[in-house]
Amino acid sequence: MTGMRAATTPGQVGIGLAGKVTAADYTEIAEVAEAAGFDAITVFGDLMFQPPAMVLATMAAATSRIRLGVAAYSPWTHHPVEIAGQVAYLDMASRGRAFYGLVRGAWLDQLGIDQHRSIAAITDTAEIVTRLLAGDASGYAGRVYSLGEGLRLEYEPYRPRVPLLIGTWSAKLAGYAATVADEIQAGGSANPAMVGRLRGLLSDAGTQREVGVCLNAVAVVDDDAKAAARAVRSACAPYFDVVASLDATVEVDPDLLQGVKARLAVGDHEGAGLLIPDDILRRFAFWGTADDVANHAMEILEAGALRVEFDTPFGLSTPDGLRRLAHDVLPRIRSMQG
């Protein structure tokens, strides 16, 4: 079994997924990922998918070294006290391999949730989770969430601090991440230029803290590059709709964004994906042969990313795609890393 890199070592490679399969499937995915030498598995907190901490707890039982991260919680769908409890349990189950993310959250308009105070909500959540894990019962008065004096967890966490990831594309939230986070992630980005963009935003905060930059995006790897391109378009389209306008390094035609949104609104993911030109799509997805995907990932790592992650569907089928990532893509990346 290949050894894992330390959490702060650059050049990490992980996989990410939204939970929608069986517990047995998660066990197999985790075993394959760890045996191959991936550094991390993240499970998304996307609306209406399986709860990520529960998925990762299943994976924890099947692994011993790979890091396991919730990427991420929205403070609008999980109270900070609940997040603290889930993170503490995952960290215990994995024996100190957990990390967790906080994000504003997408698609929450469908729940009628007002997200206007997202930065305050994320700030309060991070503070409350940090205090509860550390056993700090002094209380906290926040703008969105508070913690009464004397409140503490009724059990001992495995670690008094679990690494924090902040997911964002924005300058304001990146500035906050610079003060508290271990990692910052542009979810849905496969654009090497975003590494420099996020590094610049972190630097502007002037904190001098080391915060790792991570990018993740949907991936489809197959010997048939054309088939991979067709498949990745459908998978990428819903995420493209959310994040394409957030990438300050790419100019995206507003008409393209409107066209993608209109097709998604009627359930036409394939049609939405077909609208996206290859040069634009490449900033938001990985696809092609093992060489294509490995070379693309290396561009991101060479730009200074701490970690790059390949997200589902992985391939024309998820099991085949994971096999190709594990046995074809990852070894190519490791070879290029030397």
Query: Which residue ranges make up each domain of the chain?
Result: 12-222+285-337
* Token pair 């799509």: residue: 281
Q: What is the pLDDT of residue 5?
A: 67
In this prediction, the residues of the chain whose per-residue pLDDT falls under 50 are 1-2
**Predicted TM-score of the model (pTM):** 0.94
* Token pair 């070894």: residue: 331
CATH of range 12-222+285-337; options 3.20.20.30, 3.30.930.10, 2.40.110.10, 3.40.50.720: 3.20.20.30
Q: What is the pLDDT of residue 47?
A: 82
Q: What is the pLDDT of residue 4?
A: 56
Cis peptide before 75 (omega within 30 of 0): no
CA nearest 174: which of 205, 215, 144? Answer: 205
In tens, the pLDDT along 111-156 reads 787 778 899 999 999 999 999 999 999 999 999 999 999 999 999 9
Q: What is the pLDDT of residue 104?
A: 86
Q: What is the pLDDT of residue 2?
A: 46
